[in-house]
Structure formats: C-alpha cells, structure tokens
C-alpha cells in the first residue's frame, strides 16, 4: 500500500526565465508536488511525525522559488532533490512548475515542466 501526499496550485511571484528581461520584471508561477510514501503509521497514529509536514514542504518550495533560475527544469529538479533529501522515506516525488503567460511570441496561458523520480524501497 502507498500513501500520496500532494500540494497543488502553490502560487508565487518570482524572477525566473531564460531572458534577462524575465528575471527583471518577474512573473506568476505555480508549483504542484505529489509525494508517494510507504503506507505510513500516520493513518493509525494521527501523528505528524509519521508523515510529511505540509508546512515544511511549502517552505522548501517557497525558499527555492525566491532564487532566480533560467529554466523551469532546473527549478523542478532542485525542488525534487531538496524534498527527497529532507524525507528519505519517500517512494516517489513528482514536481510540476508552471509559468503563466510565457514569452513565446504567441498566445499561451501557461508553460509547465514536470519531473518525477522513484526511489527504491529501503527495508
């Protein structure tokens, strides 16, 4: 059995982008994260220490979103790696980073990059 914990639609105004102008003027971004955990004791214990702390997860993402990056892929990868190192019991992590109104020379509501990694079960 596996438990999934997700935070969806975390919104940030940040200064990411390949072009220097994007890093000067900023843009709206959102982040979605899905974490797979082994069937945790939290379902029976009702204890936060037996699962992933949503507040801490949000803080990890918020801190990373404050640091400018050129590529969404880089942001998503950094978030994934930080979460995985913070919570070594994870079975999987999927991170989606979305940029609203990307400068592509045409109409596009948003661009998104998703990264996913699975981890071996540790006995």
In a domain, 111, yes or no: yes
Catalytic residue, from 87, 99, 102, 115: name it.
Answer: 99
pLDDT in tens, the chain (123 residues): 788 999 999 999 999 999 999 999 999 999 999 999 987 788 888 988 888 999 999 999 999 999 999 999 999 999 999 999 999 989 999 999 999 999 999 999 999 999 999 998 766
* Number of folded domains that form the chain: 1
In a domain, 54, yes or no: yes
Inter-CA distances, 48 with 5, 55, 59, 65, Å: 13, 11, 16, 25
SS3 121: coil
Annotation marks residue 99 as catalytic: yes
**In the chain, which ranges are E strands?**
2-14, 27-38, 92-100, 110-118
- Residue 57, domain CATH: 3.30.1130.10
Domain that holds residue 72: 2-118
Q: CB-based burial of residue 17 (10 Å sphere; 0-12 exposed, 13-18 middle, 19+ buried)? A: buried
In a domain, 40, yes or no: yes
In a domain, 123, yes or no: no
pTM of the model: 0.92
pLDDT in tens, 14-42: 999 999 999 999 999 999 999 999 877 88
């Amino acid at each position: 059995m596996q438990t999934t914990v997700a935070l969806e639609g975390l919104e940030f105004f940040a200064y990411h982008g390949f072009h220097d102008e994007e890093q000067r003027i900023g843009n709206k971004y959102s982040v979605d994260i899905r974490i797979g955990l082994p069937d945790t004791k939290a379902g029976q214990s009702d204890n936060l220490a037996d699962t992933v702390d949503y507040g801490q997860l949000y803080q990890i993402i918020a801190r990373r979103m404050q640091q400018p990056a050129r590529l969404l892929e880089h942001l998503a990868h950094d978030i994934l790696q930080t979460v995985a190192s913070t919570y070594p019991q994870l079975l999987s992590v999927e991170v989606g980073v979305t940029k609203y109104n990307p400068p592509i020379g045409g109409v596009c509501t948003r661009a998104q990059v998703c990264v996913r990694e699975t981890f071996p079960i540790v006995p």
